[in-house]
C-alpha cells in the first residue's frame, strides 16, 4: 500500500542554480525515480503470498515468516527518519545510486539464501537500502521539475508508481512463486534494479547540501523498534528480556532527542494535538491493512489450500482499486476538506473488518476477496488527506520532517501489526484471525472518534494532497 502510504508533499520554492541548469527533458529522471520507488514498494507486498513456499523450503515456523516481512519493514521504517538528511549530504543522485545498488545486491542475496537466517539478514539490508532510495527518489523529482505546476504532476506520477506496485505485488508474487519458485520474487529485482541504476547515472549529478545527522538518536530508535518487534514475535522469557531492552532504548532515545540540537524526531512535534491524531490514524490504518494482507495470505493457502497464484489474484480486487481511490480521496478533500474523506475512510475500513469476522474455513474465496475490498478502500480514502493535514499542522520548514515521521510511524505500525497478528494466529488460526480483525476495528473506531475533532473545511483542506 506504499503508493497510498507515502504520498508526500513537495513544497514549491525558487529553483536552485543547479535546477536552472537541468535539461528541458526531465522524463528519464522521473522514470528512474518512479522505477526505484515502485521496486521498493513492490518488495514490501510481493513477499506475503510467497510466505508458505518460503516456510516449506527453509522452515522456521510462523516466527520465521513474520521476520521475513518485518526485517524489511522495520529496517525501512526506522531508518527513514535519517535517510532524508543522508540524501541531502550525499546528493540525491548519488544516494539513489548507492541505495539501488545495495538493494539489487541484497535482492540477489535473498534469492540465493541457503537458510532462513541468511534470508532475514538480506531482507534487513534490502530495507536499509529502500530507506535510502525513497527520499532520494522524491528529491530527484523535485530537482528535475523546478516549475511547481509540472512538479505537482510529476509527484502524482511518482506516487502512482507505488500504487501500481501495491496492486501488482500479490499477483506478481503468486505468479512468480507458481511458475518459477519463491526465489523468483527476489531475482526479478536484478534486471529492474540494473535499469534504474543505468537511468540515474544518466541524470544530472545532484548538489550536496549540509544536513545534520542525529546518529545516536537513530541508533537508539533502531534498537528500540527491533527489540519491541522481537518481544512480540518471539514471546516467552526471551520476549520479556527483549521488551526490557526496547523500554530502555526508548527511554534513552527520548533523552537523547531532548538534548540534541538537531534531533531526528523533535519532541515538540508531538505536542500538537493534530499531529498526535494524524499519526494515530495512520498507524491504525497500517495495522489493519498490512496485518490483514499478511494473515489472509496465510489463510488462503494454509487454511483453504489455494495456490500462490490463486491467492495473488484474490488480492487483486482490493489492491487494484487503491490508486483510483487515492485520486477520489484527493478530490473529496479539495472540495470538502480533509476531515470528511478521513472519517469516511476509517468508518469504511472498520466496517470491512467487522464484515471479515464472519469468514471461516468454508467461506468461498470469492466472498472473502470481496469482503477485503472495503478495508483497502477505507485505508486508501484515509491516507492522502491525512498526509495533507499533517503538512498543515507543522511549519513549512518542518514539512519534510513531518512527512518522514508520519510515514515511519505508519511503517512501524504495519510491521508491529504483522508481528502481533502472526503471533495470534500461530495457535488457533480462526480465533487468532477474529481477534486480530476485532482489535484492528477497535483501533480504527478510536481514531475515528479522535479525527472528528480535527478541523478541516475546504479552505483549510488539501490543496497539497
Look at residues 225, 248, 263 and tell me which one is the last residue of a structural domain. 263
Cell numbers for 328: 477520489
Burial of residue 328 (CB within 10 Å: 0-12, 13-18, 19+) is: middle
N residues, the chain: 465
Same domain, 174 and 225: no
**pLDDT: is 419 or 7 the higher one?**
419
Same domain, 425 and 361: yes
Same domain, 234 and 307: no
- Structurally, the chain folds into a number of domains equal to 3
pLDDT of residue 455: 67
List, in order, residues 6 or more apart from 145 with CB less than 8 Å away.
26, 30, 151, 154
pLDDT of residue 442: 96
**pLDDT: is 313 or 234 the higher one?**
313
Cell numbers for 311: 491467492
**pLDDT: is 5 or 52 the higher one?**
52
Look at residues 230, 245, 263 and tell me which one is the last residue of a structural domain. 263
Cell numbers for 15: 529553483
Judge whether residue 280 has pLDDT over 50: yes
pLDDT of residue 365: 92
Do residues 417 and 286 lie in contact, with contact meaning Cβ atoms separated by under 8 Å? Answer: yes
Same domain, 298 and 242: no
C-alpha to C-alpha distance for 429 and 432, rounded to whole angstroms: 5
Dihedral of the alpha carbons of 102, 104, 107, 109, in degrees to the nearest 10: -60
Provide mean pLDDT across the span 125-131. 93
Under the banding of pLDDT at 50, 70 and 90, the label for residue 399 is low
Judge whether residue 4 has pLDDT over 50: no
Judge whether residue 401 has pLDDT over 60: yes
pLDDT of residue 192: 93
> Residue 208: inside a domain, yes or no?
no
| Domain enclosing residue 72, as ranges | 24-203
Cell numbers for 41: 514498494
Same domain, 148 and 292: no
Same domain, 244 and 344: no
Under the banding of pLDDT at 50, 70 and 90, the label for residue 116 is very high
pLDDT of residue 465: 32
Same domain, 227 and 125: no
DSSP state, residue 16:
P
pLDDT of residue 316: 86
Pick from 281, 377, 338, 323: which is nearest to 455 by CA? 338
For 177-228, write each residue's pLDDT tens digit.
Answer: 988 889 999 999 999 999 999 988 887 777 776 667 778 888 888 888 888 8
Under the banding of pLDDT at 50, 70 and 90, the label for residue 450 is very high
**pLDDT: is 387 or 47 the higher one?**
47
pLDDT of residue 456: 55
DSSP state, residue 269:
G
> Residue 8: inside a domain, yes or no?
no
Judge whether residue 35 has pLDDT over 80: yes
Same domain, 236 and 318: no
> Residue 18: inside a domain, yes or no?
no
> Residue 12: inside a domain, yes or no?
no
> Cα–Cα–Cα angle for 276, 282, 285, nearest 5°?
140
Same domain, 192 and 247: no
pLDDT of residue 28: 83
User: What CATH number did the domain enclosing 157 receive?
Assistant: 1.20.1250.20
> Residue 19: inside a domain, yes or no?
no
Under the banding of pLDDT at 50, 70 and 90, the label for residue 12 is very low
Same domain, 250 and 277: no
pLDDT of residue 351: 95
Same domain, 315 and 444: yes
Question: What sections of 303-364 are H helices per DSSP?
Answer: 308-314, 316-320, 322-336, 339-356
pTM, to two decimals: 0.80
Question: What sections of 91-205 are H helices per DSSP?
Answer: 92-112, 116-144, 148-179, 184-187, 189-201
Burial of residue 68 (CB within 10 Å: 0-12, 13-18, 19+) is: buried
Look at residues 152, 176, 203 and tell me which one is the last residue of a structural domain. 203
pLDDT of residue 284: 94
Same domain, 314 and 190: no
Amino acid at each position: 500500500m506504499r503508493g497510498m502510504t507515502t504520498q508526500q508533499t513537495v513544497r514549491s520554492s525558487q529553483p536552485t542554480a543547479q535546477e536552472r541548469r537541468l535539461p528541458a527533458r526531465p522524463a528519464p529522471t522521473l522514470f528512474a525515480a518512479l522505477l526505484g520507488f515502485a521496486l521498493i514498494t513492490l518488495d514490501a507486498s510481493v513477499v506475503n503470498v510467497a510466505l508458505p513456499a518460503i516456510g516449506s523450503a527453509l522452515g522456521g515456523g510462523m516466527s520465521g515468516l513474520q521476520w521475513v516481512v518485518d526485517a524489511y519493514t522495520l529496517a525501512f521504517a526506522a531508518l527513514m527518519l535519517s535517510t532524508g538528511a543522508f540524501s541531502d549530504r550525499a546528493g540525491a543522485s548519488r544516494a539513489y545510486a548507492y541505495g539501488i545498488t545495495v538493494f539489487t545486491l541484497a535482492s540477489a542475496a535473498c534469492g540465493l539464501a541457503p537458510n532462513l537466517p541468511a534470508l532475514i539478514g538480506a531482507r534487513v539490508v534490502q530495507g536499509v537500502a529502500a530507506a535510502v532510495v525513497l527520499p532520494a527518489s522524491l528529491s530527484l523529482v523535485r530537482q528535475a521539475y523546478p516549475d511547481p505546476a509540472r512538479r505537482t504532476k510529476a509527484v502524482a506520477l511518482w506516487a502512482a508508481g507505488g500504487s501500481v506496485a501495491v496492486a501488482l505485488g500479490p499477483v506478481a508474487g503468486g505468479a512468480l512463486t507458481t511458475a518459477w519458485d519463491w526465489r523468483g520474487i527476489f531475482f526479478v529485482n536484478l534486471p529492474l534494479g540494473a535499469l534504474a541504476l543505468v537511468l540515474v547515472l544518466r541524470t544530472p549529478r545532484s548538489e550536496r547540501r549540509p544536513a545534520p545527522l542525529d546518529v545516536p538518536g537513530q541508533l537508539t530508535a533502531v534498537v528500540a523498534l527491533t527489540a519491541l518487534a522481537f518481544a512480540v514475535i518471539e514471546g516467552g522469557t526471551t520476549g520479556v528480556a527483549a521488551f526490557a531492552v526496547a523500554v530502555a532504548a526508548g527511554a534513552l532515545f527520548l533523552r537523547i532527542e531532548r538534548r540534541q540540537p538537531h534531533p531526528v524526531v523533535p519532541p515538540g512535534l508531538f505536542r500538537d494535538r493534530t499531529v498526535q491524531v494524524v499519526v494515530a490514524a495512520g498507524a491504525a490504518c497500517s495495522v489493519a491493512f498490512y496485518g490483514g494482507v499478511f494473515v489472509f495470505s496465510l489463510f488462503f493457502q494454509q487454511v483453504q489450500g489455494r495456490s500462490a497464484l490463486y491467492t495473488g489474484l484474490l488480492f487483486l480486487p482490493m489492491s487494484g482499486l487503491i490508486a483510483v481511490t487515492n485520486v477520489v480521496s484527493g478530490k473529496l478533500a479539495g472540495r470538502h476538506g480533509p476531515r470528511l474523506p478521513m472519517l469516511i475512510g476509517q468508518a469504511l475500513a472498520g466496517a470491512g473488518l467487522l464484515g471479515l469476522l464472519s469468514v471461516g474455513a468454508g467461506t468461498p474465496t470469492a466472498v472473502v476477496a470481496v469482503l477485503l475490498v472495503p478495508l483497502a478502500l477505507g485505508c486508501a480514502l484515509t491516507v492522502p488527506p491525512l498526509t495533507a493535514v499533517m503538512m498543515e499542522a507543522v511549519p513549512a520548514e518542518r514539512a519534510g520532517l513531518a512527512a518522514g515521521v508520519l510515514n515511519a510511524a505508519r511503517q512501524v505500525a504495519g510491521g508491529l501489526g504483522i508481528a502481533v497478528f502472526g503471533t495470534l494466529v500461530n495457535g488457533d488460526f480462526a480465533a487468532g484471525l477474529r481477534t486480530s480483525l476485532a482489535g484492528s476495528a477497535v483501533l480504527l473506531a478510536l481514531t475515528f472518534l479522535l479525527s472528528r475533532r480535527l478541523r478541516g473545511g475546504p479552505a483549510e483542506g488539501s490543496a497539497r494532497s
